[in-house]
Structure 1
Amino acid sequence: MQFSVYQQTHIGGRKLNQDRMGYLYTRDALLLVLADGMGGHLRGEVAATIALQSIATRFKAQATPYVRKPERFLEEALQQAHEDIMRYTRDKAMPDSPRTTIVACLVQHNSAVWAHCGDSRLYWLRRGQVLGRTRDHSHIEYLIAKGQADASERATHPDRNKLYNCLGASTPPKVELSRAASLEPGDILLLCSDGLWAVLPDTEIAHRLSAQPITQAVPEMIAMATTIAGSRGDNTTALAIQWQGAGTPDAAGDPSVVSTQMVPEGEVTSRLDAPAATPAPDDPFDEDDIEKAIAEIRDAIEKSSQILK
């Protein structure tokens, strides 16, 4: 496999960046993940971090070198991430569990499948056209589907930020899966938080990604979104790949191009980005406590994953 990849995040007007993103790949499989910790709940950034680590651990256990059942993998991975967040909540005796939205995409054999909970989005684009896009698990999308609101109200409706599905809630998440998408060279997959899509319309996102390489388009979109949103802007995060297919000659000198044939057999390469999280002054859990809890959860996940091999 060969693809270009670029990811970036911006704190926006918030005191803390609760977005997390990353990608992992073997010789034959690529996993993209983006999580947006929910700021209305305590330690949303921890929920997002645990979700990424949980899903990544499962990928490392099952991608040997590709995942046998992609849809089942994604559904079980997101459900496991939810359970790991709930375990953290119990271990810390927290009054309420941290929560996060999530979107994940698995690419292998020139095909992509994705899953999501909440309003972190995935766009599938080809030659400037949006071929596929996740449907937000929000109240406004529910109203639009029922014919009780117009699609033009997505950016202005007072209930646009009310979600009915996420990881970490008392109600188990309902993982929404896509159909398998057959990729062609030049196709783009974009994962992003609502800090981007809530500010830039789909037409602008499609135009930017079709007009220039993702290494230019992504940072320009993030800069545009954060400028427009100003001091009240949300965390803004995007992870994009441009698919080049299998057997494509290496693009010499382009650091954004990844050729998975360079990965030794049996190994997984990963790039998980986590902005530094500074606890609020009244937060009873300091960073050492958080890292210790996450490490314990990661160890438990890795032990249980041995059963899946």
Structure 2
Amino acid sequence: MRINYYGNSDKGMVREENQDCFGKFPVDSNDLNNPQGLLFIVADGMGGHAKGKDASNLAVDAIQQIYFEDSNKSIADRIKLAFQTANTKIFNRYLGNQQFQKMGTTASAIILHQKKATIAHVGDSRIYRVYQGKIEQLTSDHTLVNEMQKKGIINKEEAKQHPNKSVLNRAIGIEENVEIDIIKNIVLHPGNIFVLCTDGLAKVTAEEINKIASENTPEIATSILINMANERGGKDNVTVQVIKLEEEEVVKPANVYEAEKVVNKKWMKYLLIIFSLTALIILGVLFFDDITGIFKSSEKLVVIQEQSSNTKTTEENSDNNSELGKMLAEAERYFSKSDFENSASTYKAILKDYPMHLSSLNGLYNIAQKYIEKGNNEKRLGKLYEALEYYRKAQQLQPEDRNIENLIETCRSSLIAESNKPKVEEVKEKKIVDTKKPEVKPIKKAEEKKTAPVNPKYNLPKNSFWNLEDLLREDFSLNGNDISFKANSRSKKVVNTYVLKDVVVSVKAKFKNISSGSAGIIIGYNWNKITSVEKYFLFSVEPQKRFILDEVTDGSKKEILSIPYDSETMTNTDTYNLSAKYLGAWIMIYNSDKLLKAYYNDSFILGKIGLYAGTNTDVEFTNFNIAPAVDNLKE
């Protein structure tokens, strides 16, 4: 077998610099019988313009160098050692430098040796194999969403709709040690096509890659795939390598007669070429002035066009840099005045246009450190609620920081411990003060309350599932855990008394009047005892209009998601089977078991659950159910 290979890379339509790197080694050999085989690799740097590029270049250079150094070990052992060495080099390079602590790169490599292939892989760059009209992704994306899909938290369709699908949970250079996927003993056949690519090709489907790679030469296929990625937005750098395995051509000896025919044909070609050149020389002498005049004017036109284009590009870059500079100066000015909220907002605005802008990433990190510092100060003073608020602000800016997560959990545990302590002063007051208060009559049917059909792992009590204190008698009617809200000028809500996380909440909502009103599910409900501020997420439906996910703070709604009602695919009229799944920082909302949309919050969601009905809404909630978000949830 022989290989036909081509690779190329492009910065895309948005990024200012190409942080991808790729290579084929040895550069000057296509021999599959090379003692150490042929190494192909792609890497996608991350964590800032200069350092992302530096990380990917360093990875490719280190991997190919270490791999070819020692021929005594097996191919799998050598490529694994090469990846580990690259990880150590990048990690140590930025160790102790807080500005570049998130620098790293993906890396995907394949070694072709004789009749077998070996793959090493970290990150979300991909290696595909095309054979006999079918395409197979040989590598597995190391992303949070892909891990959720593997564990059965979400399905394939839900994974496609997730925001931040490219959030990595494994990369070269981020941690001191890295887990490397090694795939061995992949049998090679003539007709195999391997495609290596970075995630800039994500908008091109596997079926399209299959067709393009199968029907074109590697060079043309690479060019088409990169152009398709750019035509579909080109928001990221894109790198593609195409490797085709072909049968060796067998040369058959020709007989003497055939050889003479070949020689005669060659002489005819030579004579034709000589005649053509002679004619061109004669024409050139006759029309020399006209021809040179054409070329001179054409050359001037090209130069003028290039100058105009360069001037325009320079002006555009100048404008962009000027605007960017103003925003950076504004963010730094806010920071110097300790106005961290406005500073963070400005940095985030920059990152919307420049997702890997280093100064803005560092700015958000510095603000998070200030919030942590303030939280620590409040905690030392015994102000746990205030400390928790600062820690949460820090987590919104650095959601993946485990240290902040630990600070929050420690603070929460302290608050729970404090709330369980008996207050001596209150006990004494109760003995002295006359406790003659108007008798509060219990709500009828309170004794009929039953436990909602929840998973037994939560071990919920069999009474007092709903907190009904905020309701008036004329607001609702209760039948076990089924509750009906009556239409009036007040909005109404009930929450349970148990703090839950990582669950699926579902309920059947039947509207008696679909012309107005809204109703839905409350998740992540929290009430601050000190400030008396309540916060929660609300997934609601406006019948035959739209589905909404709001973030509610003290009664004020901030719309996060809005999904219009689709009369062609949705058969609901007055009854809706609503579900809200929240796991970690993810919220997924459903209607009749169909995923509508997903949202990634700045921090983990933990709190009570409940039901809501807006003003002038007559709705009946039945079939209320709670279940773990993961089927194999540990007790």
- For normalisation by structure 1, the TM-score amounts to 0.73
2:131 to 126, 131, 144: 126
Bigger Rg over Cα: 2
- Asked whether the equivalents of residues 42 and 96 of structure 1 are also in contact (C-alpha less than 8 Å), the reply is no
Are the equivalent residues in 1 in contact too, given 2:67–2:79 (CA < 8 A)? no
Confirm whether residue 57 of structure 1 aligns to residue 65 of structure 2. Answer: yes
Structure with a larger share of its residues in helix: 2
Identical columns (%): 28
Aligned-residue offset at 1:226: 0.8
Shift of 1:126: 0.7
The 1:92/1:138 distance shift into structure 2, 3 A limit, reads closer
The one-letter amino acid paired with 1:160 is K
Structure of higher RCO (CA pairs closer than 8 Å, 6+ residues apart):
1
Q: Within 2, Cα distance between the matches of 1:281 and 1:154?
A: 29
Query: What is the distance in 1 between the residues matched to 2:151 and 2:225?
Result: 32
In the TM superposition, what whole-angstrom CA distance separates every residue of 1:212-251 from its partner, at most 9, and x where no partner exists? Answer: 2222111101101111124xx1001111211136xx2499
Q: Give the distance between the partners of 1:154 and 1:205, measured in 2 at CA.
A: 20
- Distance, in Å, in 2 between the alignment partners of 1:250 and 1:59 is 33
Aligned residue type for 2:75: P
2:245 maps to which residue? Answer: 243
Correspondence for 2:41: 33
- Distance change (3 Å), C-alpha of 1:216 and 1:60: same
> Which runs of structure 2 are paired with 1:131-170 in the superposition (5 Å)?
131-170=136-175
Deviation at 1:152, TM superposition (A): 2.3
Counterparts of 1:145 and 1:86 in 2: how far apart (Å)? 28
Partner in structure 1 of residue 15 of structure 2: 14
Q: Is the 8 A contact 2:128 2:194 kept in 1?
A: yes
Q: Secondary structure at the match of 1:163?
A: coil
Deviation, structure 1 residue 153: 3.5
8 Å contact from structure 1 (residues 18, 39) kept in 2: no
SS at match of 1:43: helix
5 Å-filtered alignment, 1:247-262, equals 248-249=248-249
CA separation of 1:208/1:39 partners in 2, compared to 1, >3 Å: closer, same or farther? farther
Unaligned runs of 5+ in 1: 252-279, 284-309
> Secondary structure, in 3 states, of the residue corresponding to 1:142?
helix
CA distance in 2, matches of 1:282, 1:135: 32
Note if 1:109 corresponds to 2:76. Answer: no
Q: CA deviation at 1:95?
A: 4.6
Distance 1:95 1:141 in 2: 26
Equivalent residue in structure 2 for 1:218, among 219, 222, 228: 222
In structure 2, C-alpha distance between the alignment counterparts of 1:281 and 1:151, rounded to whole Å: 33
Q: Which residue of 2 aligns with 1:204?
A: 208
Check conservation: 1:128, 1:209, Cα contact below 8 A.
no
Please list, as runs of the form range in 1=range in 2, the aligned pairs for 1:151-190 lying within 5 A after superposition: 151-190=156-195
Is the partner of 1:147 in helix, strand or coil? coil
In structure 1, what is the Cα distance between the partners aligned to 2:358 and 2:179?
34
Tell me whether 1:4 sits opposite 2:4 in the alignment.
yes
Shift of residue 203, structure 1, vs aligned partner: 1.1
The amino acid of 1:18's aligned partner reads: Q
Whether the 8 Å CA contact 1:208–1:217 is kept in 2: the answer is yes
Partner of 1:180, secondary structure, is strand
Report the equivalent of 1:47. Answer: 55
Whole-Å separation in 2 of the counterparts to 1:224 and 1:101: 22
Specify whether residues 99 and 183 from structure 1 end up closer, same or farther in structure 2 by C-alpha distance, changes over 3 A only.
Answer: same
